[in-house]
């Protein structure tokens, strides 16, 4: 995982601490959306993912406050997957990922996850979490 963190940090000029926290946000999202499926054990194949998931996340410096938290919860309830993505985007901003770098950050992670897991495993993940497929540049080639 450290290689992935360093790679994303260097490629996107994001501090490693923010990359680490951002990856925790993405991995938690994937884990939460894949509960009760065969996908969760597959995440263990990403080197260091389980250790990162088990590491307590530092409290973000700029939490969204009560209104932001309510909007994120309401978005998840009423807008389904789009609301989930909005909530993840907000969390990524909270941990220091600039809004302009969120898509490249997620794309880079998905690329590296696909390399680690292989296309068949990623296909299973996309079936469970279709929004992630839009971040896989290999799907548009």
Chain segment 39-76, per-residue pLDDT in tens: 777 777 788 888 888 888 765 554 443 334 444 444 44
For residues 132 and 27, the model is more confident at: 27
- Residue 5 pLDDT level (bands cut at 50, 70, 90): very high
| Model confidence at 137: pLDDT above 70 | no
pLDDT for the residue numbered 32: 82
**Cβ distance 102 to 89 under 8 Å?**
yes
Q: Where are the domains of the chain?
A: 2-140
| Model confidence at 88: pLDDT above 60 | yes
């Amino acid at each position: 995982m450290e290689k992935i963190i360093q790679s994303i940090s260097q490629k996107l000029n994001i501090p490693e601490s923010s990359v680490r926290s951002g990856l925790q946000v993405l991995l938690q999202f994937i884990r939460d959306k894949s509960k009760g499926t065969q996908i969760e054990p597959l995440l263990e194949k990403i080197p260091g993912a389980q250790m990162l998931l088990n590491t307590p996340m530092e409290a973000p410096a700029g939490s969204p406050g009560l209104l932001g938290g309510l909007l994120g919860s309401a978005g998840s309830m009423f807008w389904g997957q789009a609301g989930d993505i909005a909530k993840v985007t907000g969390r990524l901003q909270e941990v220091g990922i600039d809004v302009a770098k969120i898509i490249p950050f997620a794309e880079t992670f998905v690329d590296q996850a696909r390399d680690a897991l292989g296309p068949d495993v990623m296909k299973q993940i996309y079936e469970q979490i279709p929004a992630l497929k839009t971040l896989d540049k290999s799907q548009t080639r």
